[in-house]
């Protein structure tokens, strides 16, 4: 009986592992193709096989040297600037709103929490056209400032995870600091934030990732202003009919370069990212 149970268990585990291995190969195969062909030396039409036969760094060099109308270095800097400023503003907004809802008690607290939850249920693209016309009325379309405003203005509505994390910090710390004469502002900056590294890292990563990878909103706001494109729009431009014959391999190289900063951030901050998500999932 025991041997039969062990056999069935081993068989089921073996099937599960094989299935996971197959799914893993399916998932990773596009990434492998992307990286390998970003180093491909053959022309676009000359490859009738899956793996390249010759490799070089030419695609990466041309991506940064032969700019012309498709200026990848400028798009990269545009995206980096927007992502950094949006990340700073969004992180501060999310953490301060979350702390306020977690620690402060005021009459409109519950209604504001409910309104934030309801607004978060609506997809962001529903307001994109309205946002575009508001920016147009203010003369901010096709500017990087407009992107920073759009990415960071409503960031405070994403308070749920951070509020859950702050709810896990004992209120006795606040009370002790208040007795010692500390203000709410001092408690937040000097006591709560130094203890909240996981949720700060989580908020920074998510606030940076959104502007770095966004395409739809950036495309609507930028229109045909190629010089102010972000990398997402620029890479899409490279594979349009007019440019794909000469820029396809550069598109692959650019896709790898865009993924590098995010990959490094996640690898370095993975521990804190997971701690922030799990601790912030506590109901508060």
**pLDDT tens, 35-57?**
888 888 877 655 566 777 788 88
> Which DSSP helix (H) or strand (E) runs through 178?
helix 171-179
Contacts of 93 (CB under 8 A, 6+ apart): 152, 155, 156
What's the mean per-residue pLDDT of the chain?
84
Mean pLDDT of 97-116: 86
User: Looking at 60-64, 65-69, 193-197, 277-281, which range is the least confident one?
Assistant: 277-281
252 vs 38: CA distance, rounded Å: 5
The predicted structure's pLDDT at residue 283: 47
β-bridge mates for residue 40, sequence order: 55
Burial 194-210 (b: 16+ CB within 10 A, else e): eebebbbbbbbbbbbeb
21 pLDDT tier (thresholds 50, 70, 90): very high
Please write the tens of the pLDDT for every residue from 194-233. Answer: 888 888 888 888 899 889 989 988 999 998 888 899 999 9
72 vs 255: CA distance, rounded Å: 11
β-bridge mates for residue 55, sequence order: 40
User: pTM of this prediction?
Assistant: 0.83
242 vs 230: CA distance, rounded Å: 19
Tokens of 218: 């950036």
């Amino acid at each position: 009986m025991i041997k039969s149970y062990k056999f069935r268990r081993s068989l089921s585990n073996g099937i599960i592992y094989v299935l996971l291995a197959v799914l893993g190969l399916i998932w990773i195969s596009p990434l492998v193709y992307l990286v390998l062909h970003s180093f491909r030396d053959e022309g676009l039409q000359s490859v009738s096989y899956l793996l390249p036969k010759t490799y070089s760094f030419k695609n990466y060099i041309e991506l940064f040297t032969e700019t012309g109308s498709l200026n990848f270095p400028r798009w990269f800097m545009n995206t980096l600037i927007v992502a950094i400023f949006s990340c700073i503003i969004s992180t501060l907004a999310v953490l301060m709103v979350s702390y306020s809802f977690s620690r402060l008690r005021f009459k409109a607290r519950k209604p504001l929490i409910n309104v934030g939850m309801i607004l978060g249920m609506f997809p962001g693209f529903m307001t994109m056209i309205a946002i575009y016309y508001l920016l147009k009325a203010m003369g901010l379309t096709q500017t990087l400032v407009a992107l920073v405003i759009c990415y960071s203005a409503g960031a405070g509505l994403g308070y749920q995870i951070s509020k859950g994390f702050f709810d896990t910090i004992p209120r006795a710390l606040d009370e002790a600091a208040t007795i010692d004469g500390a203000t709410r502002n001092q408690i937040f900056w000097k006591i709560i934030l130094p203890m909240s590294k996981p949720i700060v890292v989580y908020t920074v990563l998510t606030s940076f990732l959104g502007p770095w990878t966004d395409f739809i909103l950036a495309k609507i706001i930028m229109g045909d202003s190629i010089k102010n494109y972000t990398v997402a729009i620029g890479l899409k431009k490279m594979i349009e009919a007019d440019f794909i014959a000469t820029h396809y391999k550069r598109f692959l190289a650019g896709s790898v370069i865009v993924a590098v900063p995010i990959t490094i951030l996640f690898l370095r901050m993975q521990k804190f990212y997971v701690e922030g998500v799990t601790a912030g999932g506590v109901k508060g």
